[in-house]
Structure 1
Amino acid sequence: MINIMKGLRPLKHIFNEKRWKWYDFQQKDEEKIKELISQSPARREWLENIKDRKANLLDLNTETKGDEYIWGSLIYQQDIEEKGEKNIFHFYICEDFFITVDFDFSILDVSDIGVHKQMEQAENAVEGFFILLGKILASYLQKIDAYEERLHELLWEMKEQNNLEILERIYENRHELLIWKNLVIPIVELKFIAEEAYGKGVHEQAEFNRVETRVERIRMLLTEYQEAIDTMIRLEEVVSTHRGNEIFKTLTVITILFTPVTAWGAVWGMNFKFMPELEWKFGYVFAGVLIFATTAGLYYYLKKKGWIGDILKVKKKNRFFE
């Protein structure tokens, strides 16, 4: 492998006995990029399209047989809290070389030396580029493993606490899952674009197949986690609805049970001139017994009808309903 250096940063890498090249630039290397692409109108169009680009972009050209190329921009890192906190790199791919702008190995937590060793075995630049995609997907898988652990903890916390804070965290996890899906979708499209540009022959490349397998792994995991989160949300909705109904039923029963107190209190609170029971010696006791008897009778009636249910029971720890 040969490196042409600019200061401490290698701009050009040559692989597999000079069969293909990788030009690795940053935005500040714009003059070097212009010098490299000056002879190609298509590459100049690519450079114009990627300037200040902050979103995914994928395109290809198959007009000239044997000179197919793919170009665009790819968001390969996205903060789950801040929309603007993301990392994007730009690329131009043909069989003899590929160009990347603003690709950062440190974000993926992988060694560029190890990647270069892999690229020495790549047959052409297309396969070399898919080595980079494979590393991106490998970093996704590591982070998705950490996501799985958090989701597992949340599953049990939901049973133990089951409050508004847990519901908020469930939806935060759902939002994070959507971010992962949005990161993977452009790579899936890029895989199809490579097939369109270079035919089924790309399936003979080990790195293309590795990317394809990792994409399927990630999509399978995300689908399973999506189902788990949807189940958690449905369960939370059922529990919340049940508890809301129990609260409404409890308030209704309490209101009914206090109806005799309210009714009899209203009767004896009237200002009629002739109310003989107010002069009775045991009128107070009589009123208390009457109120208690009518309340007990009403409670017995509700209990016999089964309208009270479990509202007088205290919810047990780590139970959803009881």
Structure 2
Amino acid sequence: MKHVFNGGAWEWHEFPESDKAGIEKLAREKDPYHIDKWAANLPRMKTNHIMVDAFRKGEEWIAGTLVFKQDLTEKEDYHYFHFFVAENFMITSGLDFNVFGKDDYNLLNEQMDTCDNALEGFSVLLGEITTSSLMKIDPFEVKLNDLFWKVKKENSTGLLEEIYHARHELLVLKHLMMPLQEIKIAMEEAFGEQASGGPEYKRTCLKIERGFKIANEYQTEIDTLIRLEEVVSSHRGNEIMKTLTVLTTLFTPITALGALWGMNFRNMPELEWKYGYLFAIGLVVISTLILYIVLKKKGWAGDILRGKKRNSFFK
């Protein structure tokens, strides 16, 4: 499909990915731009890729493949399209606008009609793609807020799993925006101020910058949550080990004396004592109390015998 904008100032040629013949025909019409070389590589290009040609004045172009949508849970569920952009025309192949929605497509065409050249038109398209990524980042504010309070109220492997899932989703979204940053730089490399001076290009650059800033801030918050969760988990693990150590120490007398009097030697005078049983109990209690007092005075028991407070990280 061919679109002509701004009174014939520039053109946009849309092709399905399967329309190889249509692209080859257009390549013959635009012969100086060597579109045929770009088109020949399309079947193999299914991931992010970019090429820049700025050697011939007036015939500069950028081309490549852009993954513009990725499912946050399934690696193989993603959408991409191919593009070729010169000053007065651009070509897209395999761009599925159902992903954006019909209203966005119509609005996109109206906005492109105000652009002076294809560079500005392509910037509008990149801006729309950036906006769709930003809309996915926004819900992280609610998700992170929930995680902040969950970390305070509970401490479990499930919560750590939830935090790492959020981190992975954010990394996927950042990965989608990184090629946009590369394309932005490639446009400046190929077209110089002709690209960087346009209002739509500047607007798209601000969107990309905003997306990266938000994503970086959220990533910092998630990393802080992970460190906090790890510190709390480590502290509680240490408390558990300390508790087990103290309890083992306190039960050492009864264990040792029980083992001693559980032996089957014939000559054990304690067995004939009238008050031997009471003596044994008293010895166990007194030795246990002595151990407890020693641990308490030296501070080795810490606060493990105190009850834990609700909504507290360590107390």
TM over 0.5: yes
Partners of 2:142 and 2:38 in 1: CA distance: 41
Question: Is this contact kept in 1: 2:155–2:233, CA < 8 A?
Answer: no
Question: Is this contact kept in 1: 2:71–2:77, CA < 8 A?
Answer: yes
Q: 1:278 aligns with which of 271, 275, 278?
A: 271
User: What's the counterpart of residue 317 of structure 1?
Assistant: 310
Moved more, 63-72 or 175-184: 175-184
Matches within 5 A, 1:254-273: 254-273=247-266
- 1:204-261: CA deviations, max 9, x gaps? 2111001110111011111111111111111111111111111111111111101100
Q: Which runs of 5+ in 2 are unaligned?
A: none
Partners of 1:111 and 1:137 in 2: CA distance: 13
Partners of 2:121 and 2:260 in 1: CA distance: 92
Question: Is this contact kept in 1: 2:137–2:170, CA < 8 A?
Answer: no
Q: Does residue 16 of the first structure (1) align with residue 6 of the second (2)?
A: yes
Partners of 1:263 and 1:230 in 2: CA distance: 48
Secondary structure at 1:320 match in 2:
coil
User: What's the counterpart of residue 152 of structure 2?
Assistant: 159
Partners of 1:132 and 1:314 in 2: CA distance: 60
Q: 2:47 aligns with which of 39, 52, 55?
A: 55
Partners of 1:112 and 1:269 in 2: CA distance: 87
Partners of 1:12 and 1:315 in 2: CA distance: 70
Task: Quote how far apart the aligned CAs of 1:146 are.
Answer: 1.1
User: What's the counterpart of residue 85 of structure 2?
Assistant: 93
Moved more, 60-69 or 32-41: 32-41
Secondary structure at 2:8 match in 1:
coil
How many correspondences in the alignment? 312
Matches within 5 A, 1:28-47: 28-39=18-29, 40=31, 42-47=34-39
User: What's the counterpart of residue 177 of structure 2?
Assistant: 184
Q: Does residue 302 of the first structure (1) align with residue 295 of the second (2)?
A: yes
Partners of 1:25 and 1:51 in 2: CA distance: 14
Partners of 1:37 and 1:133 in 2: CA distance: 23
Secondary structure at 2:163 match in 1:
helix
Partners of 2:193 and 2:311 in 1: CA distance: 55
Matches within 5 A, 1:142-153: 142-153=135-146
Opposite residue 80 of structure 1, the aligned amino acid is L
Secondary structure at 2:46 match in 1:
coil
Secondary structure at 1:28 match in 2:
coil
Identity %: 47
Partners of 2:144 and 2:79 in 1: CA distance: 25
TM-score calculated relative to the size of structure 2: 0.95
Task: Quote how far apart the aligned CAs of 1:100 are.
Answer: 0.5
User: What's the counterpart of residue 170 of structure 1?
Assistant: 163
Q: 2:204 aligns with which of 183, 205, 211?
A: 211
Partners of 2:155 and 2:68 in 1: CA distance: 35
Secondary structure at 1:111 match in 2:
helix
User: What's the counterpart of residue 81 of structure 1?
Assistant: 73
Task: Quote how far apart the aligned CAs of 1:156 are.
Answer: 1.4
Q: Does residue 25 of the first structure (1) align with residue 15 of the second (2)?
A: yes
Partners of 1:201 and 1:53 in 2: CA distance: 28
- 1:26-58: CA deviations, max 9, x gaps? 113222122111243721111111214211010
Q: Does residue 288 of the first structure (1) align with residue 281 of the second (2)?
A: yes
Question: What RMSD, in angstroms, separates the aligned Cα atoms of the two structures?
Answer: 1.3
Secondary structure at 2:196 match in 1:
helix
Q: Which runs of 5+ in 1 are unaligned?
A: 1-10
- 1:108-165: CA deviations, max 9, x gaps? 3452111111111100011001100000111111111012221221221222222101
Secondary structure at 2:114 match in 1:
coil
Secondary structure at 2:4 match in 1:
strand
Secondary structure at 2:264 match in 1:
coil
Task: Quote how far apart the aligned CAs of 1:317 are.
Answer: 2.3
Q: Does residue 251 of the first structure (1) align with residue 241 of the second (2)?
A: no
Opposite residue 19 of structure 2, the aligned amino acid is D
Secondary structure at 2:98 match in 1:
helix
User: What's the counterpart of residue 189 of structure 2?
Assistant: 196
Moved more, 65-74 or 141-150: 141-150
- 1:189-215: CA deviations, max 9, x gaps? 111111111112323211100111011
| Moved >3 Å (runs of 4+) | none
Secondary structure at 1:71 match in 2:
strand
- 1:54-113: CA deviations, max 9, x gaps? 110101111210110110000000111111111000000001110001112222345211
Partners of 1:105 and 1:258 in 2: CA distance: 72
Task: Quote how far apart the aligned CAs of 1:281 are.
Answer: 1.9
Opposite residue 60 of structure 2, the aligned amino acid is E
Moved more, 246-255 or 34-43: 34-43
